[in-house]
Amino acid sequence: MLAFSLFAAPALAADTFEQTHPKVVKIYGAGGFSGMESYQSGIVISPDGYILTVFSYVLDTDYVTVGLSDGRELDARLIGADPRLEVAVLKIEAEGLPCFDLSKAVKLTAGSRVLAFSNLFGVALGDEPVSMQKGTVSIVTKLAARRGVFETPYRGPVYVIDAITNNPGAAGGALVDTDGCLAGILGKELHNSLNHTWLNYALPVEEIRKSVEEIEEGKFVAERDPEEARKPQRSLDPAALGIVLVPDVLERTPPYVDRVLPSSPAEKAGLQPDDLIILVGDRLIQSRRELVEEMEFVDYADPIELTVIRGRNLLKFTLQSTAGRDPTRGTQP
């Protein structure tokens, strides 16, 4: 019995390809200069021609066309976009198209074997099917919450893939499981500034489905960007706590405490010279510059939790500046 299903599998894999590739389209639009390709990928999400893709400069023109697997190239209209998720919905005039059903999308976990369908590097032309790649989900993770790590407004979870799927032109393509069930759409090329590698990933359908449906129905209202941590009017700085740091002489000067001012909050809390500050709250601090920067997000009046390395121990201190008694801030009731 099982032997039969084993033998059947290659044909089924072919089935997966045959049933999936017609649902993935080639999108042509703006670009074509200085390394910006004028094409990307998309997926058909309704028989009557709604197309889901990523929101990018390629769509920034009145002349966007969609290439179907049967070779037809149709003009497309931008219905709407969610700039926070960087997804967009296009519409072409067509009927009876093979399509993905977003409501039947599957969820993946680390180790899931996946197939990616996209027109990476614009390899497929005319009625040629898009390219299929295989890989494994490396991890399901949120794009690092840290400021400036990834240049994208999206902060939700992604499927990280262990194959080089996110090449020029691939964005908007489909990530499916080995049965051909849709799981996500390939995102734009993203560089990880934490370790200078390129990230291969897809946005899970469940993260974008609501927006996409609202766009389709014409009901979409762009949400306000989740507020980036905003700097308070008056920020904290090391001096306000009585901490004198070592001079900033290197590229990444380690934030060692040079001196602690007498009867300052730092001294009262027990900070000592040569303590190395490594955490503000639970955020890792890798240089003196980062420490000063991080403190700018803490209100002058708020307590701050610092973790230091002293000898071979980690010690945690809570410090508060004397802001409570700051006359410029008014009196407390």
Partner 1 sequence: MRNYENLPSSFGRGGEGGLELAGIIRDDRRYGSHSNPLSKTEGAVFSISKHVLLPIVAWLCIAPTFSAADNVDAKLQAALAEAVERIAPAVVQIETLGGLERVEGNLLGAGPTTGLAVDPRGYIISSAFNFASRPASILVRLPDGERKPAELVATDHARMLVLLKIETDKPLPVGRPVPREEMRVGQWAIAVGRTFQLDRPNMAVGVLSALDRIDGRAIQTDAAVSPNNYGGPLIDLHGRVLGVLVPLSPRASGQMAGAEWYDSGIGFAIPAVDVGRALPRLINGEDLHPGLAGIGLQGPNPYTSPPIIASCLPKCPATAAGLKPGDKIVEIDGRPIARAAEVKTELGRKYAGDKLSVAALRDGRRIETEMQLAAKLEPFQHGFLGILPMRSAEDGVAVRYVYPESPAAAAGIEPGDTIHSLDGEPIADRDKLMKKIGLLEPGVEVLLGVRHGATEREAKAVLASLPTEPPPDGLPPAGVAQSPPVGTEKDGLQVGSVELKNAEFPNEAWAYVPKGYRPEAPCGVAIWLHAPGGYEWSELLARWKPLCDRWNLILLAPKSADPARWTPDETDLVDRLLDQIGSSYKIDPARIVVHGYKGGGSMAFLTAMNNREMIRGVAAVEAIMMGRPPHNEPLRRLAVYLARADKSPLARPIEQIAGVLQKMKYPVTMKGLGETPRYLNDEELAELVRWIDALDRI
3-state secondary structure of 158: strand
In the DSSP assignment, the letter for residue 187 is -
* CA–CA dist 263, 246 (Å, integer): 20
Specify whether the CB–CB gap between 84 and 225 falls below 8 A: yes
Q: Which of residues 17-36 bind partner 1 (CB under 8 A)?
A: none
Question: Any contact of residue 12 with partner 1 (CB under 8 A)?
Answer: yes
Count residues binding partner 1 (CB under 8 A): 62
Nearer to partner 1, 222 or 284 (CB): 284
Segment interacting with partner 1, rule: CB under 8 A, options 4-12, 33-41, 211-219, 321-329: 4-12
> Closer to partner 1 at the Cβ: 188 or 288?
288
User: Positive or negative, the Cα torsion across 108, 109, 115, 116?
Assistant: positive
- The CA-atom distances, in angstroms, between 263 and each of 236, 256, 306 are 18, 19, 18
Q: What residues numbered 104-123 form the site for partner 1, per CB under 8 A?
A: 109-113
User: Of the candidates 284, 305, 318, 329, which one interacts with partner 1 according to CB under 8 A?
Assistant: 284
- DSSP letter (8 states) at residue 234: S
SS3 65: strand
Contact 145, 89 (CB under 8 A): no
Instruction: Please report how close the Cβ of residue 270 comes to partner 1 at its closest, in angstroms.
Output: 18
Q: Strand pairing partners for 184?
A: 175, 204
> Would you count residue 329 as binding partner 1 (CB under 8 A)?
no
Nearer to partner 1 (CB atom), residue 194 or residue 261:
194
CB of 22 to partner 1, least distance (A): 17
Distance CA 80, CA 63 (A): 15
The residue (of 53 and 166) whose beta carbon lies closer to partner 1 is: 166
CA angle in degrees (0–180, nearest 5) for 102-106-112: 140
**Is residue 287 a contact residue for partner 1 (CB under 8 A)?**
yes
196 binds partner 1 (CB under 8 A): yes
Binding flags for partner 1, 232-251, as an x/- string (CB under 8 A): ------------------xx
Q: Which of 20, 215, 222 is nearest to 101 (CA)?
A: 20
- Shortest CB 147 distance to partner 1, Å: 13
> Given the complex with partner 1, which of 67 and 180 has the nearer CB atom?
180
**Residue 9 binds partner 1, judged by CB under 8 A:** yes
Subset of 128-157 contacting partner 1 (CB under 8 A): 134-136, 138-139, 141, 144, 149
CB of 18 to partner 1, least distance (A): 11
Q: How far apart are CA 265 and CA 221, in angstroms?
A: 47
Partners of 276 in beta bridges = 256, 309
> What is the phi/psi pair of residue 244, to 5°?
-105, 120
Q: Which of 160, 205, 208, 245 binds partner 1 (CB under 8 A)?
A: 160
By CB under 8 A, residue 69 contacts partner 1: no
**Cβ atoms 29, 169 nearer than 8 A:** no
Interface with partner 1 by CB under 8 A: which residues?
1-16, 109-113, 134-136, 138-139, 141, 144, 149, 160, 162-164, 178-180, 192-198, 200, 250-255, 276, 278-279, 284-287, 307, 309, 312-314
